[in-house]
Amino acid sequence: MNKELLINMYYAAPEFWYINLGILLFFITFIAVQYYKIFQLKRKNYFLKRTEDRYSETINAAHDGYYIFIYPDERVDDSQPEVIEKCSRRLAVMLSLPNGIDSNLNDVLHDFYKDDIDKINKYISLLKGDAVAFEDKFVLKNGKTLNLSGTRISGSDGSTYGDIIWFRDISADSSFINTIKTEQKNLNKRLLDLENLLDNLPYPVWLRDANLNLVAVNKKYSEFISTPDKNTTISQNVEIDCNSETGSIKKIAVQAQKSNRPQICQIHRNRDGKHFCFEAIETPFHSEDSLDKIATVGTLRDISEFDELSHSIKQNQNAHLEILGALGTAFAVFDDKFKLLFYNTAFKHLWNFDDEWLNSKRTYGNFLDNLRERRLIMEVPDYPYFKNEEQKMFSKIIEPKEDLIHLPDGRSLRRVRAPYLRGGLVFAYEDITDRLAARREYNLLLNVQQEILSKINDAILIFGSDGKLTYFNNTYLDMWKIKAEELQNEPTFNELWEINRKYFTDVTNWPSFKKEIFNYIFSSNTQAFSFKRNSNDIIECSSILLSNESIMVIMRKTDNP
């Protein structure tokens, strides 16, 4: 029924229904559009809020903390009529604020010293009033060091958003900077000490770079070349002249750099009427720890006294060599390179050399080889070893050494080797063949005499000119029951008679008795005498003065009558 009623109503007034349907569609469309606009605004607001959160979190994630004063917008009726102060999360953590991000400015400045708080408040006052930016460093009570910088935040249209104070913890940086400053101070002191050390050296010192230009000199260098100061010397690269042949010292620096070995030259100067001799040395070294860059360091020393001494020594050596040349003993000098430096006529004749061979700069090894070829030195089983050992003596002998050389031709030479002042050895050869032969004859004669004396039945004693016992025979040992070992240390008469004292226990005045016997024996006009021992043995004694001022004493035991 209702359906039919609606159909009848539609057909009775169709315009009315069309109008209502249009109105309904309009409202539906309007509502849809508004809903879409609201959706778009919500979406835009979401993205704005998300961007704001991102910027806020980005600032909060910064290494520095901040405290900000946010001002209301004066161009509109801002719902925020008051200034808002805000503490960042980073600042709260940095200062360990108990109220966190809700802390106010007094909380933030709590750990600052009073004078610093007053100073910061003045900075803030100027920033808020006249937009005067500031930056300063402060040390807190807890030892931290903070850097504060304040600045105004303005929009592109010139509007003021707020004033912000950034807090940066520079404790580590400050400690590092203080360490650097301390090290720099110590380094400057060390450099000053080194400069004082070099400037107070009594001789010039300089340093070159890899291009061999002067980069450092001491005060003595500038004084030596008469320049105003060290900087002028370095900037003008003023060199020291050696001589007309060598030129400047830089030339020997070039040689030192090329050879990588120290180079030396001598400089002679006349000053105030005196002659001076200087020795310049350029020593290379690897610069900047590079094997390709070689720089040099140079020194200039006054060796005038050494030069004069060397000249005097050379003159004395020449004079000594002239004296040696005139002596009959054979002399030769071989230098530290084993080369023959000097020989005299006696040396030439001793070894039968000709002048041409001796003057051809022969070595000691050539000398030994020549003697071996002519069979003038003893044969050895290992000649190379012998030759090497002979040459080693040039570096081992530090004081004169003497030995005997027996030649194949029967001659015997006394050889003395001594150090030569300028390096090498001085050799002296003396032919002692006749002396040794004479000594052998003398020893043979002496042995014959002793053999004869040992066969005599009388006791024989011989005292030398110094009063010591030099000979005794076996008969004497048997007569006085003495061991030969007791007489080996050459006792005097007094010492010998003390050994014999056990045979004179009946003597009441021993010193007087011993003196009387001594006078009998050592008197120049003494005749034979006798004395009695404890056993009633009678000893006949006589003495004879020999040609060498020795005294021979003869003792004979006789039977008791």
Using alpha carbons, select from 201, 229, 206, 203 the residue that is nearest to residue 217.
Answer: 206
Using alpha carbons, select from 150, 206, 211, 139 the residue that is nearest to residue 178.
Answer: 139
Residue 89 has pLDDT above 80, yes or no: yes
With beta carbons less than 8 A apart as the criterion, state whether 91 and 65 touch: yes
Which is higher by pLDDT, 279 or 136?
136
Residue 460 and residue 528: Cα distance in Å, rounded? 14
pTM above threshold 0.95: no
pLDDT in tens, 439-486: 776 667 667 666 766 667 788 888 888 888 888 888 888 888 888 888
pLDDT of residue 178: 81
Residue 452 and residue 285: Cα distance in Å, rounded? 82
| pLDDT tier, 276 (very low <50, low <70, confident <90, very high otherwise) | confident
Residue 318 and residue 283: Cα distance in Å, rounded? 34
Using alpha carbons, select from 110, 96, 104 the residue that is nearest to residue 69.
Answer: 104
pLDDT of residue 385: 92
Residue 210 has pLDDT above 70, yes or no: yes
Mean of per-residue pLDDT scores for the chain:
82
Which is higher by pLDDT, 126 or 201?
126
- Segment 40-48 mean pLDDT: 75
- Segment 86-97 mean pLDDT: 89
152-157: list long-range contacts, CB under 8 Å, 24+ apart. Answer: 152/127, 153/68
Residue 236 has pLDDT above 60, yes or no: yes
Helix (H) or strand (E) holding 9: helix 2-12
Q: Pinpoint the alpha helices (H) of 61-154.
A: 89-94, 105-108, 114-130
Q: What amino acid occupies position 147? A: N
For strand 134-139 and strand 145-154, is the pairing parallel, antiparallel, or unpaired?
antiparallel
What percent of the chain has a predicted confidence (pLDDT) above 70? 83
Residue 70 and residue 443: Cα distance in Å, rounded? 130
- Segment 55-65 mean pLDDT: 70
Residue 318 tokens read as: 């020449």
Which is higher by pLDDT, 59 or 84?
84
Residue 313 and residue 273: Cα distance in Å, rounded? 24
Residue 8 has pLDDT above 70, yes or no: no
DSSP 190-254: HHHHHHHHHHTSSS-EEEE-TT--EEEE-HHHHHHHT-S-HHHHHHHTPPPEEETTTEEHHHHHH
Using alpha carbons, select from 53, 57, 52 the residue that is nearest to residue 90.
Answer: 57
pLDDT in tens, 343-367: 888 888 888 888 888 888 889 999 9
pLDDT of residue 109: 93
DSSP state of 260: T
pLDDT in tens, 294-338: 889 988 887 766 656 555 555 555 555 555 544 558 888 898 889
- Segment 488-513 mean pLDDT: 86
What percent of the chain has a predicted confidence (pLDDT) above 90? 14
Whole-number Cα distances in Å, 516 to 170, 213, 305, 510, 535: 113, 97, 69, 10, 20
- Segment 48-72 mean pLDDT: 74
DSSP state of 154: E
Which is higher by pLDDT, 479 or 560?
479
Whole-number Cα distances in Å, 4 to 7, 8, 11, 16, 128: 5, 6, 11, 18, 82
- Segment 54-74 mean pLDDT: 76
With beta carbons less than 8 A apart as the criterion, state whether 560 and 533 touch: no
- Segment 86-104 mean pLDDT: 90
Residue 268 and residue 276: Cα distance in Å, rounded? 6
Residue 167 has pLDDT above 90, yes or no: yes
pLDDT of residue 51: 63
pLDDT of residue 346: 85
386-403 burial code (b ≥16 CB/10 A, e <16): bbeebeeebeeeeeeeee
Q: Is 118 helix (H, G, I), strand (E, B) or coil?
A: helix
Residue 467 and residue 176: Cα distance in Å, rounded? 93
Which is higher by pLDDT, 529 or 385?
385
- Segment 82-110 mean pLDDT: 89
Residue 151 has pLDDT above 80, yes or no: yes
Residue 229 has pLDDT above 90, yes or no: no
pLDDT of residue 328: 58
Which is higher by pLDDT, 46 or 403?
403
Q: What angle do CA 375, 379, 382 make, to 5 degrees?
A: 125
Using alpha carbons, select from 420, 553, 391 the residue that is nearest to residue 480.
Answer: 553
Greatest mean pLDDT among 69-78, 370-379, 450-459 lies in 370-379
Please, which residues have CB within 8 angstroms of residue 501's CB and are 6 or more apart in sequence? 510
With beta carbons less than 8 A apart as the criterion, state whether 154 and 161 touch: yes
Greatest mean pLDDT among 9-18, 67-76, 182-191, 544-553 lies in 182-191
192 CB neighbour count, 10 Å cutoff: 10
Burial of 507 (0-12, 13-18, 19+ CB in 10 A): middle
Residue 217 has pLDDT above 80, yes or no: yes
Q: Is 362 helix (H, G, I), strand (E, B) or coil?
A: coil
